Amino acid sequence: MLAAGTAAAASGSALFIGVPVLAPQLRDEFGLTLSQLGVLFASLWVGSILTLLGWGLLADRLGERLVLAGGLGACGLFAVGVVWAGGFWSLMLLLFLASAAGASVNAASGRAVMQWFTPDERGLALGIRQTAIPLGAGVAAVTLPLVDRLGGVDAAFVFLGALCLGAALVAALVIREAPVQDVKLEGDAIPWTLRDRRLWTLSFGSGLYLFGQLPYLSFAVLFLHDVHGVSPARAGAVLAVFQAGAVLTRIGAGRLSDRLGNRLRPLRWIGLGSAAGLLVTALVADGQLALVVTAIVVAGAVSMAWNGLSLTAAAELAGRARSGAAIGFQQTTLGVVGVVVPVVFVALVESTSWRAAFALCAFGPLAGWWMLGTLRERV
């Protein structure tokens, strides 16, 4: 169950994060401005915002297999459809639809893992599942520049679509419900979700950590290419290295939370580390390339460590029967913040500088650290 869920999430992540990896090529292929790239990256979040809670409720009612396989399969088809995109608007529409369909992975695969592991294992299990994001990003960072060089942007999107379709097939064959079932999802799941102050605080507080994560995920390749003259392939390799580090930080954070019996404390520590990483990156942004790459790799890995803890805490707040709805809500709030961050970061870069943009984004994880401090320590 864990392997199938992780593979499904990794394939969706490869598409989601693969688009920023292709930023220089997309800019040339479609004649995009930096602002249009920011909007394009934001569109990937908008699709998931509109569907995540719905996918979570469907997973609670219909089970993970149907939701995960069906949504991810549709995502793969939309990705392949980019071959026929004729300009900015058609490209953005197809990516929007792909993200709306692929959002099924977040709720369904997280719920599947939640059902199969006990509380003293769940932090580690969901931490491993959340390594899907850096794993998928690493695959995208390493392979997409090569695929693009051999067959162009169209070949890159066909490759990404094929990954999603393959993982959807695996999910259809492997994923199943846990043998021990709790009561069915109650009819008031949506009102419960919307009125739970703890879930709102947890979701938006950790969502502010995206100000520490997305500048690296979405713009590290473009920053290294434009400011330091690094080729897209080598810049993608840097992204792959920090994603490899993120695999370790996510597993480590999940295991630490199991040993502490607490998700909140390590979640807040990561917020402080993420803010510090942004400030260090800002300090060295115009300096020696070796220092810049080191800062991106280390700070990027730290900035990726929190997602599994936030998802686990949301699921545990809700309980097994409503975990899909809670995960869907938590992921929706992350999507809301995720739409804003690329646009804000681009605006900061264009109005100030890359250095100032990195530094100013440190206020995001700091604000999240403060907000999470209002929750009880037992979360």
User: pLDDT value at position 184?
Assistant: 44
Burial status of residue 197 (CB atoms within 10 A of its CB: 0-12, 13-18, 19 or more): exposed
Distance CA 89, CA 72 (A): 23
pTM: 0.73
Residue 343: other Cβ atoms inside 10 A: 14
The answer to whether the beta carbons of residues 262 and 124 sit under 8 Å apart is no
Q: How far lies 44's CA from each of 18, 340, 375, in Å? A: 11, 11, 30
Distance CA 245, CA 114 (A): 24
Distance CA 142, CA 307 (A): 23
Sign of CA dihedral 266, 272, 334, 145: negative
User: pLDDT value at position 64?
Assistant: 77
Token reading at 234: 């080598």
Distance CA 62, CA 64 (A): 7
Angle between helices 363-372 and 264-284 (to 10 degrees): 170
pLDDT tens for each residue of the chain, 379 residues long: 888 888 888 898 888 877 878 888 888 888 888 788 878 877 887 887 888 778 877 877 777 788 888 999 999 999 999 889 888 899 999 999 998 998 888 766 666 676 777 777 877 887 787 778 778 877 887 888 889 888 888 899 999 999 999 999 998 888 877 665 544 444 445 555 667 788 889 989 999 999 999 999 888 888 998 899 988 778 888 888 888 888 889 888 888 888 888 888 999 999 999 999 999 999 999 999 999 999 999 999 999 888 888 888 887 776 665 666 777 788 788 878 888 898 899 899 999 999 999 999 999 999 999 999 988 654 4
The answer to whether the beta carbons of residues 71 and 105 sit under 8 Å apart is yes
Q: 21-36 burial string, b = 16+ CB within 10 Å, else e?
A: bbbbbbbeebebeeeb
User: pLDDT value at position 280?
Assistant: 96
